Amino acid sequence: METSFWLARKLFFTRKNFWTGSSLFAVLGLIMGVASLVTAMAVMSGFESTLKSAVVDVTGHVRVVRGFNSNEKWEELDAKVRDGEPTAEIRGVSRFTFVEGIVTHQGQISGVILQGVDPQQYQTVLNFSNRIIQGVQGLDTTAESVPRALIGKGISQKLNLKAGDKFRVVLPIADRIDPNKFHRRIKEFQVGGVLDLGKFDWNERMMVTDMTVTQELAEIGDRYSGLIYRFSSAEKAREASFRISQKLGGTYSVRDWHDLSENLFEAVRIERVVIFFVVLVIVIVAAFNISSSLFVTILRRYSDIAILKALGARRRDIILIFSLQGLFVGIVGVVGGSLVGKLLCEILQVLQHKFRLVSGAVYKLDNIDVLIRWQDLTAIFIATIIICLIATLAPAMRGAKLNPVEGFRYG
């Protein structure tokens, strides 16, 4: 084994083999194939990671929405949720309300989803600290008693709003006597901060403010939509969501962060597998180009193979020597391809920020954090090595069948 490894290494690193002519281009083709695979997987992993981060930061880990006609106090509902759940796993809870209305500013209007949160509790379940573009994330009321609101960057750009500006929100309220009639409620807000909420539709439509303000504006008294929970980890939140749903029954809607964007997460999972095998075709083509180059190398080394056989080398020794060359090629391809792929990922990150390559209206995200995961690299490494070994098996067997006499005759 040691002798075969030494011979394979000597044959591989001679100028007469893979480092001149078409063989060099075949190896470069393998490197570029692996680089393409690394980049494609990094984009898909980055899309999934960016989406997960946005959903968890903006919606929390688990949302429990109570029944429409329920007058249950939030402390009572919280006690039901916590019943049987490990206390250490729940890191925070906050009430929330959802109200739909219209934002108006300087003659321009835009539909908006107004999310009211508890100003004392929401920072324990939502994470806006890394999403502030302008202003601050506090929701405290200004000296003029104008409530503050956090708005998505899409609303800010569309209505030309920046931190400190004032705007109005209009809500249509159904008449209590005649549901077919409406009256309007108008409230003035001040932009406390502009957020990049991660998803395109949230940036275009969402604003966050004090829950008591939304209750007053919508004339709903002390009613709330439900509770937002944050757990010790996103994975544990998914398990807890199922248990909570079982305990509360069908009158409550319990959804975790994955459920809120399930279609997108499922699409990414399927596309990751499809893209892996599609781009892997490039690696397969490059590997079989190397196979053809190895055929030529074996023809050039007829005399060397004949000498090895004359010295007692067995057929399996010859197969092992040339198969090891396929292993060396695979390692060079993975290492070189990973480095080139890393470089391509860095270039992609720069181009994203400069030219907005990703359309938020189409892909829901207008910026993707490209992420190279060790699981992807492991899968790429194993697939590339196996393909290279298979591709070099045929020429290795051809060399093993060589008659020593023919080798000396034509050598």
User: Which structural domain range is residue 111 located in?
Assistant: 67-251
Give the number of other Cβ atoms within 10 Å of residue 354's Cβ: 8
Report residue 43 as tokens.
């984009």
**104 and 25 within one domain:** no
Indicate if 91 and 71 belong to the same structural domain: yes
Return the H-helix or E-strand segment holding 127.
none
Residue with tokens 């248990």: 243
Number of domains in the chain: 2
What whole-number distance in Å separates Cα of residue 33 and Cα of residue 210?
53
* Share of the chain residues as helix, strand and coil, in percent rounded to the nearest 5: 55, 20, 25
| DSSP letter string, 266-304 | HHHHHHHHHHHHHHHHHHHHHHHHHHHHHHHHHHHTHHH
Residue 38 lies in a domain: yes
Our measurement of the distance from residue 96's CA atom to the centroid of its chain's CA atoms, rounded to an integer in Å, reads 27
Torsion sign, CA atoms 269, 275, 277, 280: negative
Q: Is the domain of 129 the same as that of 44?
A: no
pLDDT tens-place values along the chain, 411 residues long = 566 556 566 665 565 555 555 567 778 888 999 999 999 999 999 889 988 999 999 999 999 988 766 678 888 888 888 887 887 788 999 999 988 899 988 888 889 999 999 888 888 999 988 889 988 877 866 555 788 899 999 999 999 999 889 999 998 877 666 667 777 888 899 999 999 998 888 999 999 999 989 988 888 888 888 999 999 888 889 889 988 988 888 788 899 999 988 888 888 889 888 999 989 988 888 888 877 777 766 666 666 666 666 666 677 777 777 777 777 778 888 999 999 999 999 998 888 877 777 776 667 777 888 899 999 999 999 998 888 888 877 777 776 666 665 555 545
DSSP strands (E only) in 141-205: 148-152, 166-174, 182-195
Which of these three, 251, 284, 305, is where a domain ends?
251
Of 178, 20, 46, 205, nearest to 113 by C-alpha is 205
Is there a domain that residue 188 lies in? Answer: yes
Q: What secondary structure letter does DSSP report for 178?
A: -
Q: Are residues 97 and 172 in the same domain?
A: yes
Task: Count CB neighbours of 349 within 10 A.
Answer: 15
Tokens, residue 286 = 């490059």
The residue out of 223, 251, 279 marking a domain boundary is: 251
Last residue of a domain, one of 251, 277, 303: 251
Calpha distance 258→55 (Å, rounded): 8
Contact 290, 323 (CB under 8 A): no
CA–CA separation, 366 and 352 (whole Å): 9
- Same domain, yes or no, for 211 and 270? no
**Coil/strand/helix, residue 192:** strand
pTM of the model: 0.82
Place of tokens 């030494």: 6
Q: What is the pLDDT of residue 74?
A: 87
Beta-bridge partner residues of 209: 116, 149
The answer as to whether 319 is a domain residue is yes
Same-domain status, 288 and 353: yes
For the chain, state the CA radius of gyration: 31
Whether 113 and 152 have beta carbons less than 8 Å apart is answered as: no
In a shared domain, residues 220 and 169: yes
Indicate whether 62 belongs to any domain: no
Tell whether 171 and 319 lie within a shared domain.
no
Judge if 111 and 169 occupy the same domain. yes
Q: What is the pLDDT of residue 395?
A: 72
pLDDT at 169: 92
